Amino acid sequence: MKHTKKKKLLAFVLCMILVLSTAITAFAVDGNFYYVPKDTVELSREIVKDGASQGTLYATVPGGTFKSSTDNAELQMDMQNETSESTVLEAVQTELENTGNTGYTVHQAVMGDVSFRISTEDKARIPEKAVNFRFENTSLDTAHAMGFVYDGSNGTITLYELKEDTLQFEEDVQLEAETVVVGCFDVVEKTAEEKVEDGTKPEDTKASTGVEAITQESNNIQIADTQGIVSIAENYGKLTANYSDTAVEVGYVWYRSINGATEEQQIPTQYYSTTGTNLGKDISTDGKDLYIALNGGALKYNGNETVNYKVKAYAKNDLNEYGLPKEGTTALATSSVYNVTGYYEVQNGSFETPSVTELHSGTNNWQFSNENYKKLKGAWQTTGTANASEYSDSEGADIEIVTTESDNTLDGYSSMSFR
């Protein structure tokens, strides 16, 4: 009897081992994937329109938003910069009015087609978790701006409130398509003529959803001519004004505020070097272009901590021979405030940040993309971009940093200087 009981007990144990082994094997098969990203990451892409930067889009993606069959796969955010805006802006305006903002119209907008993919795959993927977006370095009026996501696959658009005085979405976005248009815009109050045309009562001064009425005395926007708007774009230290109504001959007048002081009208000035070399004017003859460094608007110059510009468009006949408005004239339109980000002195001149050896072990050089270099607190950007290589970020090989702090050979770099 004892012998029989031992056999039964042994059979039971063997059976349990078989069941447990089967369960472990099944778990290993079901769990044969890797989370991407492993931890929360922030990705960024510059938004470019007509060759000029419109700002930068940042996406904060939580860990485990995607799955990959490959270990150490990286998450990438792609963007089609030259987004077709007309359909999207029409949808934004319609949704704005559907939410009760019938007294307002879209003033300026910044947007880009966004998609996410795993570095080991070519196809775009739908995030399994919500993503948070924010914009930086735009010319939008943050006090009167909203965000949006447009799904072109079904033509739907969703508006998002932004955090106070920033262009960051207040809530995370659960994306439902592989590619969407993510953007933000600011608004201005419609004129009486526009309100009558679309059936809105002219005396309505505030939208029901809480967007503040924007009057002609607004801090950032003044609109006298509803047929056109004026915007500011920067291209490597040069601000360029653009008035949307090309049928009207206009001139531009610039205003600058330093460290929060009252804004001052800028008078075009001719500059010379200490040796008498002609450096040119800080504002072009037609007023369209302003050169920040010549105008003294670069950060850290003479104590500049914050520098803001805005520009007004005037009818050409309303400006005098110096390019300044005649007494009693009114601007056709005024831009949103532009915040300067460029410095007077070289920043990170010896290239300590970011550190190659801390980020990439076993090598003494690495090629960063412009976007990732900026994200890692690098102060430089380059127009000489290059495609990715085995010793670069997957997004591109734009800026190469070489260090002597590695034991690897420096052959091939003998003619270069090192930090």
DSSP state of 380: -
Q: Round to whole Å and give the CA distance between 105 and 49.
A: 22
> Cα angle at 299 between 322 and 267, to 5 degrees?
5
Predicted TM-score of the model (pTM)? 0.46
Domains defined for the chain, CATH in brackets: 222-345 (2.60.40), 348-419 (no CATH)
Cα(126)–Cα(117) distance, integer angstroms = 9
Burial code (b: 16+ CB inside 10 Å, e: under 16) for 39-65 equals eebebbbbbebeeebbbbbbbbbbeeb
- Per-residue pLDDT tens listing for the chain (419 residues): 444 444 454 444 444 444 333 333 223 233 578 899 999 999 999 888 767 788 899 999 999 999 998 888 899 999 886 566 778 888 898 898 888 888 888 888 899 999 999 988 888 999 999 999 999 988 888 888 999 999 988 889 999 999 988 999 999 999 999 999 999 998 887 765 555 556 655 444 333 334 443 333 333 333 333 457 899 998 878 999 999 888 889 999 999 999 999 999 998 888 887 888 888 889 998 899 999 999 999 988 888 999 999 999 999 999 988 788 998 899 999 998 999 988 876 666 667 778 777 777 767 778 888 888 888 877 777 777 888 887 788 888 888 887 765 555 555 444 333 33
Structure tokens at 344: 């007077």
Element at 223 (helix H, strand E): none
Q: Report the DSSP pairing between strands 132-136 and 230-235.
A: unpaired
Handedness of CA 319, 325, 331, 333 (dihedral sign): positive
Distance of CA 162 to the CA centre of its chain: 14
Q: Which of 252, 349, 350 is closest to 300 using CA atoms?
A: 349
d(CA 128, CA 62): 10
The first and second tokens of residue 107, run together, are 């003033």
- Of the candidates 111, 141, 72, the one whose C-alpha atom is nearest the C-alpha of residue 335 is 141
Considering only CA atoms, which of 20, 19, 45 is closest in space to residue 396? 45
Reported in sequence order, the residue ranges of 259-345 that DSSP labels E, i.e. its strands, are: 264-265, 270-272, 278-281, 289-291, 307-315, 333-334, 338-339
Structure-token match 């070489």, residue found: 402
Q: Is the dihedral of CA 175, 181, 183, 185 positive or negative?
A: negative
